Structures are given as structure tokens and as C-alpha cells.
Structure 1
Amino acid sequence: MKNVLLLTIGTFALGFDAYVIAGLLPEISTTFNITDSQGGQSVTVFTLCYALAAPIFATLVAGKSIRIILVIALAVFSIANGASALVTNFSLFLIARAMAGIGAGLFSPLASVAASSLVSEQKRGRALGLTLGGLSMGTALGVPLGLIIAEQIGWKGTLWVIAIIGLMAMIGILFFFPNLSAETPPSLRHRIAMIANKHVLAIVGITFLTSIASIGLYTYIASILQSIKGIHLITPYVWAWGIGGVVGSFSIGPLIDRTGRPALLTAGLLAVLALVMISLPFIFHFPVFVFILIFLWGVMAWAFQAPQQHRLIQLQSNHAEAVVALNSSANYLGGAVGSMIGGVALFAGLSSSQLPIASGCLLFIAFLGQLLIMLSNNKVRKLKIG
């Protein structure tokens, strides 16, 4: 499991980088003399490139050494984070964030493939759990740490720390990781057929809507806290979200195995998440409840992906890696779209305090969509039985 831990360090850096910018947004906006809505687009370009990197580069890396690809991905990711700290204008900052997203998007799905290839089938779930858990740990531990670092030496210092962690993982993989070859991805015809499959499309569509509402909203968490309650010290709230993410990431798997009802779990998670979002602006006079709701937001948001992936693998067992990558792309693409829509809404005059309500309404639509999927599947089963 030593090599899996190296992958986990890499995904920790990815999770750290993907979510810490939201907390640093006010400082970044001040540095470049821009609005929060403009600064939020740095999250948009990162998540957009993260989402698109895997499918774009999948064919190019087929048959190549996974170790070399992972090293290159982490090198791009780390150098881009260093560049993000060095640039002197916002346009160059956006380019650097885009490059960091490309490196992250190339590393993440390959890390999952490598983790499952390094261990026996009996330990595969644990290996994948460790690798994917690195993302949530990067949020739970890395993001608050990054905010503390930013308070002491500025937001650029946080990005340098992320770059160093990425380089550490890169060096470890370069010298200690075994040679594995990336599998040949499905053909273009198979990919089109997979995307055209209405069941796959429905599940991925729910992922996309949920990510617009959840990840997109997280981009503006600092602005929301400041707007509603004048809260400037957001670290405790980010801790609550991140710890909730760790709880959700590591608890949902056993729950899926125990119930055998991933679709029902998805519906439940969406219902709770919608209620949490809609309730947020109304409970800021009660600090304890703010922490509880943000904690629940983290739990539901991070737990949501596992049952979605489980259902997709059941539908496309012959192309499990490709269909999970498709869902991952939808997740981060949704986050990019959500960040962009949030920025446009703020620019148009919508108050930050109204963003959670808008997100909650979108999540309720996703919940209704999930119910329709379940009803449709039940009808299909009855027809088959009949």
C-alpha cells in the first residue's frame, strides 16, 4: 500500500488546491483589484480544465507508462501553482489556474486506475477509498491549513505550499512507483453509445445539476458569510465543511453495501442538501446551527458521488473507468458552470445571501429528476417481470 499512499499525497494536493481558492477569494480579489465575481472565474477555469483534461488526453496516454504520466501531471500541477503565486496580473493568474486544472484533471482518474491495479481485488475498495479520500482530506485538513498560512504570510504562500506537496508526491512516484501501462480507452463509437445511453445520461445529468448548485456555491462561501453575518474569519466554517466531507466520503461506501439501494441514497442526499441550502440564510443568527448546516452540506456533497458511480458501473461494467471518468467530468464541469453563473449573478446585482436559496431550488429540481429516474426504472422492471 506504500505506492497507494504516494497517490493519496497527490490527490491530497489536488483537493487542497481545488477548494482553498474559495476561501482565499477576498484576498486574491484585493491583490488584483477585481470584484469577487471576477475572482470566482479563477475557480471556473480550474474546474473546467480539470473536467476536460481526462477525456481530451485519454487517447494520447493510452499504452504509455502510468508512472511517467503521473509525474508529468504533477509537474504541470505544481509548476502552475508556483506560477499562480508569481504572476502580477489577473489574466496571467487565470492562465496559471487553467494549467493547474489540466495537471489535476490528468492525475486524478489515472491515480484511481493505478490504485486499483496495485492491489488484489480484495483490497481494491480500500485502495480506491484511500486515493479518493485524499481529495476530501485535502479539503478537511488542507483548506483550513491554507487559510491559516494565508493569514500569516499571504495567499501566495498557500499556493507555494500546494506546489511543494505536489512536487513531493511527484518525486516519490518518480523513484518508487512501478511501471504500469494505461489501458486502451473505449473507441469513439463506444464512447458515443455510452453517452447516448439514456440511463447513463440521466445519472450524469443529475451529477451535473448537483455540482452546479453545490460546488458552484462553495466558490463564494467567503462572500456569503461576509454578506449575511459580516463573518471575516471563515476558517472554522471551512473546517466544518471539510470534516463533513471526510465523514461523507468514508461512510457512504459501507452504507451502499449495506442497503444495496444507491438510487434511493442519492435521492435522500439530494433532499437533505436542498433543505440545507435553502435554510442557510435564515439561521445565521444562531452560530451553532450555521456550523451544523455547513457540516451537513459537506457530508451530503462528498457522499453524493459514490452512489452515482456505483450505479454507472452497474450500467457500464465493461467500460467502468470511462463511465466514472465521464461522471467526474460532469461533476467538475458543473462546478465550473456554477462558479461562472454565481459570478454573473453577483455582477448582475444578486446578493451573496441569495445564492444559497438559488442553489437549494436547483437541488430540489435535481431531487425531482432523481425521483423520475427511480419511477422510470421501476416501470421498466415491472414490464420485464410481466
Structure 2
Amino acid sequence: MSLSSRSSFSSSDATRFSTRLSVALIALGAFALGVASYVTAGLIPLITRELFILDAAAAQLVTAFTLAYAVGSPVVVTLLPGRCQREGLIAALVVFVLANALCAMSTSFIALLIWRGVAGVAAGVYLALGIAAAGAISREGRRGQALAVIMGGMASGTVLGVPLGLALAERLGWAVAFWLVAALGAIATAGLVIKLPRLPAPAPTPLRQKLAMLKHPPTLGILSVSLLAAIASLGMYTFIAPFMAAPAFGGVSSIALYLWVWGVGGIAGSFLIGPFVDRYLEARVTLVIMLVLTMALIALPLAAAQHPLMALLPIALWGAVGWALQVPQNNRLMQVRAPHGDAHLAVALNESALYLGSALGAGAGGLILTGGLSPWHLALAAAGAAALGAFLQLLLLARAHRR
């Protein structure tokens, strides 16, 4: 081997290592986001006792984060110049770290509510820019795996980080959970400042052109499938406790095992989907995922009616495909929007669609229960939303084939 070829080989290896390290650091930040997104619900009893507020008021801390994430982050990403994506990514993570540190130091409910909202906006901006950055620095044929690592990081934060944060909070107070999130985010920030390369800057895009995305049929189709998937998956997740507690499904008193299996399935699905996205057409992968999600939600009441433990298999499948879906969806959005220079905004809107779908699914499930319908209808309604998403994806595939 010649000296020049050795030098080229070493340079190529160094570039690949740097890319993988950058993706891993973005995933570490996503892990912190996963903890921050879900840990507050478990902290409500501790917060209510220390701040002398009602449970209903404390629950608005979750609402503040999710609403700010869904609504605020696309606005910030829209206004961010394309040439500032690296700086915006790091700045969003810095704000996220500071907001969580200020949450930990808050002594009043109003201050805690405000900083949770700020953290929600920063989290949404960071994840959107992080996914876009990972796609930009990854070579063709490896982008799906890079996105899978990031989504796997967020899923791991939800499944592994949240129990750790709650265990520490029970011993040391609720503030320590926010300090944990801030510490993880600070480590990721330091690493990204050092290792994240400069990102390619798309051509400047006027605000009017960015808003025109909402009239672009292929983009709207992808976002609509994500919305329907979130209504089905995250909406049903909201009611997994009352569903499994119903006498028809075994009257389960503790759902910890079922939530854990759902989360482990999510981690597995997030990490394993990457090679399939790189090898096959994203639209076909999405169609298969939506079909599996539909079948898992249909099988859930049928399996649980036989024995509660039999529900673990459809729950694992449901968690796996529910988390895996966003890898092909975000990858496809980046491909569709790359010529327009606003892929990061499309990813932000996709994340907003997930939170909006979660809220719509939770609202629909609440109406089902308050309307006196049986828990069977929760799973059937969720399966119906997933089936509608699969049908829409089939139409998108057929349209793409005709074109």
C-alpha cells in the first residue's frame, strides 16, 4: 500500500469516527430530552408536597413542556437562518441545560412552569436540528442508521433514564431529576462544541417559501401519517393503565412490567430500523410499520382477554414500531425538503405532529371512557387510526409510483 493510499485510508477512518462520535453526542442530548419529556409526570406527588399545590396544577408542568415543544419549536426553527444550524443546535442545548437547572432551583410553581416551557421549546429545536445535522454529516447509505441512533437515544432516556431520575428524586428530592437532565445535556454540549463539524449551509430561504411547505402535498402526506401514528400509538399509551386494569383484561393492578416491555420494544425498534431504512425505500418501510402497528393494536385486547401476560407480545411490537416509525419518516422528509433548504423545519413539524397526535389521541380516549364505552373501544379506535395511516401511506406510495 502506497503512502498516499495509507494517508487517504487514515483520513477516511478519522472522518467516519468523527461522524459517529458526533452522532453519539447528539444521541446523548436526545437521551436527556427523553428523560426531561417523561420524568415530570412521576415527580408530581413530590412537587405537590413541597410547593403546596394541587395535583391538577402540577400536571400543567407536563402540558407546558409538551405545548411549548409542539408549538414553539417550529416557530424558532422557521426563524433560524440556514447558515446557523450548528450554532442553533448548540445554543438550543445550552438553553435546555440552563432551563432544567433553573427548574431544579425553582422555589415557586410559576417559576417552575415558565422554565418547563422554555425547556420544551429548546428541546424541540435541539431534536429537529440534531436530526437534520446527523443526516447532513452522514454519508449516503448510512443516514438511516444515524437517525436510528438518535431516536434510540431518546427512547433509552425514556425507558432507562426516567426510572433512574425518579429513584434519585425519591431519595434526594424532585430537583435532583432536573439536575440529572442538566448534567447529561451539559456533557453533550461540551462534546458537540469540540467535535461537531461545520454543517453545509443551504441557500437562504425566504419566510414565505418556508411557509409554502404547508401546501406541499408530499410533505403534508408524510406529516399526516406521523400524526395518525401518534394518535394511535401515543394516544393508546396514555390509557394503557385503565385498559389493563379492566376486568376483561385481567384486572392488572401494576402496569410497570407492561410499560417496561413497551419501552424496551421501543429501544429495540429505534436501533434496529436503521439498516432497513438505508436498504429499502422509506415509504415502503413506513407502510410495513403502520400495518404492524395496526395488527399489534388489534391483537392487544384479544391477547389480554386470554391472559394478561399474553398482552406483552403485542405491547412489545407496538412499542417497537411506534418508536421506529420516525426514522424513515424523518429521513424521507429530509430527502423531500433538501432541495428547498428547509429540511430542519420539516423535521420540527414532524415532531410537532407527534405531540399534537398524542394530545388528540388522549382526548379521543377520554371521550371514549367518559361516554361509557368499554376499554375494548380504546384499542379498536387506536387500531382504526393506525389503519387509516396505513391506507394513507399506501396512497402516497401509489402516487409516487405513478409519478
CA pair 211-186 structure 1, distance change in 2 beyond 3 A: farther
Distance 2:145 2:152 in 1: 10
Identify if the C-alpha distance between structure 1 residues 99 and 303 changes in structure 2 by more than 3 Å, giving closer, same or farther.
Answer: same
2:288 to 246, 251, 265: 265
Query: Does residue 195 of the first structure (1) align with residue 214 of the second (2)?
Result: yes
1:333 alignment partner AA? L
Aligned residues: 376
1:338-353 aligned at under 5 Å gives the runs 338=361, 341=363
1:299 to 303, 320, 343: 320
Letter in 1 for 2:381: C
1:245 CA drift (Å): 0.7
1:275 aligned to which of 293, 298, 307: 298
Q: Percent identity?
A: 38
Q: Which amino acid counterpart does residue 187 of structure 2 have in structure 1?
A: M
Cα contact 1:10–1:166 (8 A) shared by 2: yes
2:262 is aligned to 241
Amino acid at match of 1:249: S
Residues 27-66 of structure 1 correspond to what in structure 2 (within 5 A)? 27-28=46-47, 33-35=53-55, 39-63=58-82, 65-66=84-85
Partners of 2:396 and 2:110 lie apart in 1 by 47
Cα separation, 2, equivalents of 1:28 and 1:213: 31
The answer to whether the Cα contact below 8 Å between 1:78 and 1:167 also exists between their aligned partners in 2 is yes
2:21 is aligned with what amino acid?
K
Query: Is 1:374 aligned to residue 394 of structure 2?
Result: yes
The alpha carbon displacement at 1:367 in A equals 1.3
> By how many angstroms is 1:14 displaced?
0.8
The answer on 1:207 being equivalent to 2:226 is: yes
TM-score with structure 2 setting the length = 0.76
Is residue 112 of structure 1 aligned with residue 169 of structure 2?
no
Match of 1:99 among 97, 102, 118: 118
Whether the 8 Å contact between 1:276 and 1:297 is mirrored in structure 2 is: no
Letter in structure 1 aligned against 2:269: G
Check 1:44–1:357 CA distance in 2 against 1; reply closer, same or farther (3 A cut): farther
- Give the SS at the match of 2:54: coil
Q: Are positions 1:358 and 2:381 aligned together?
A: no
Tell me the CA shift for residue 256 of structure 1.
4.2
Normalised TM-score (structure 1): 0.79
Which amino acid letter does the alignment assign opposite residue 357 of structure 2? G
SS at the partner of 1:268? helix
**Aligned-pair distance for 1:169?**
1.6
C-alpha contact (below 8 Å) 1:7/1:131 kept by paired residues: yes
Contact 1:209/1:362 (<8 A) preserved? no
Q: Post-superposition shift, 1:221?
A: 5.5
Distance 1:373 1:129 in 2: 21
- State how far apart, in whole Å, the 2-side matches of 1:113 and 1:311 are: 12
* Superposed CA offset, 1:133-168 (max 9, x none): 221221232123223333433443222211211122
Equivalent position to 2:329, from 308, 311, 332: 308
Q: 1:85 touches 1:157 (CA, 8 Å); kept in 2?
A: yes
Cα contact 2:136–2:200 (8 A) shared by 1: no
What amino acid maps onto 1:308 in structure 2?
A: Q
CA shift in 2, pair 1:373/1:72, >3 Å: closer
Shift of 1:104: 0.5
Q: C-alpha offsets along residues 212-251 of structure 1, whole Å, 9 cap, x if unaligned?
A: 34334445656766788564573x4443222111111122
Within 1, Cα distance between the matches of 2:308 and 2:46?
Answer: 24
Spell out, residue by residue over 1:47-73, the C-alpha distance to the aligned partner (whole angstroms, 9 max, x if none): 222223442122443155444433321
Does residue 140 (structure 1) correspond to residue 159 (structure 2)? The answer is yes
Q: Distance in 1 between matches of 2:138 and 2:195?
A: 16
Pairing 1:12-31 to 2, within 5 Å after superposition = 12-25=31-44, 27-28=46-47
Task: Indicate if the aligned counterparts of 2:147 and 2:274 stay in contact, CA closer than 8 A.
Answer: no
The CA deviation string for residues 311-330 of structure 1, in whole angstroms up to 9 with x for no partner, is: 54565452444433322221
Q: Give the Cα separation in 1 of the matches to 2:243 and 2:104.
A: 25
Q: From the superposition, tell whether residues 98 and 349 of structure 1 become closer, same or farther in structure 2 (CA, over 3 Å).
A: same
Rounded Cα–Cα distance in structure 2 between residues aligned with 1:75 and 1:227: 44
Aligned to 1:255: 276
* 1:268 shift after superposition: 1.0
Aligned mates of 2:389, 2:339 — CA distance in 1? 26
Structure 1 residue runs of 5 or longer lacking an equivalent are: none
Matched residues in 1 for 2:183 and 2:354: separation?
Answer: 27
**Consecutive unaligned residues in structure 2, runs of 5 or more:** 1-19
CA–CA distance in structure 2, aligned partners of residues 232 and 26 of structure 1: 18
1:101-142 CA-partner distances (Å, limit 9, x unpaired): 111111112112322344444544443332332212212321
